[in-house]
């Protein structure tokens, strides 16, 4: 059973950075060091993503929710990293654009969600 790690973007990025079309998204997750610098080596890359649901129906009001399901390799990498880095920041990129910089709230494995502020009228 995988745990779901809720990742939220509150008001940390300009709206233009969260409007990347879902159809062109190649999802990457990178570590962020204590100085706020994004690592060059990703924790997760597109080959470790088995599916992305960009319109998850259970999003909280005012948010878009992306549900990310990982391959077995991705789940293992995510579980190991999230377990040993609780309370630290990660950077989530859709293609070349950073869409979220959440804090790891707890250990997760095969599935996680990314909540993005909905800027649509």
Q: Could you give the domains of the chain?
A: 4-117 (3.30.1360.200)
pLDDT at 44 over 90: yes
With cut-offs at 50, 70 and 90, classify the pLDDT of residue 84: very high
**pLDDT confidence of residue 36:** 96
Strand order in the sheet with 27-31: 27-31, 90-94, 97-100
Taking the chain, what is the end-to-end CA distance rounded to the nearest angstrom? 37
The total of other beta-carbon atoms located within 10 Å of residue 46's CB is 13
Q: What is the mean pLDDT of residues 75-79?
A: 96
Q: What is the pTM of this model?
A: 0.76
Nearest CA-CA partner of 32 in 87, 110, 78: 87
């Amino acid at each position: 059973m995988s745990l779901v790690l809720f990742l939220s973007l509150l008001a940390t990025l300009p709206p233009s950075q969260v409007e990347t079309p879902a159809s062109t998204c190649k999802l990457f997750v990178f570590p962020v060091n204590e100085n706020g610098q994004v690592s060059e080596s990703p924790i997760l890359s597109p080959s470790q993503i088995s599916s992305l649901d960009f319109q998850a129906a259970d999003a909280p009001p005012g948010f878009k929710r992306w549900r990310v399901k990982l391959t077995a390799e991705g789940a293992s990498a995510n579980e190991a990293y999230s377990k040993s880095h609780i309370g630290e920041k990660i950077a989530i990129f859709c293609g070349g654009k950073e869409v979220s910089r959440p804090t790891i709230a707890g250990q997760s494995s095969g599935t996680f969600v990314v909540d993005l502020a909905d800027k649509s009228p």
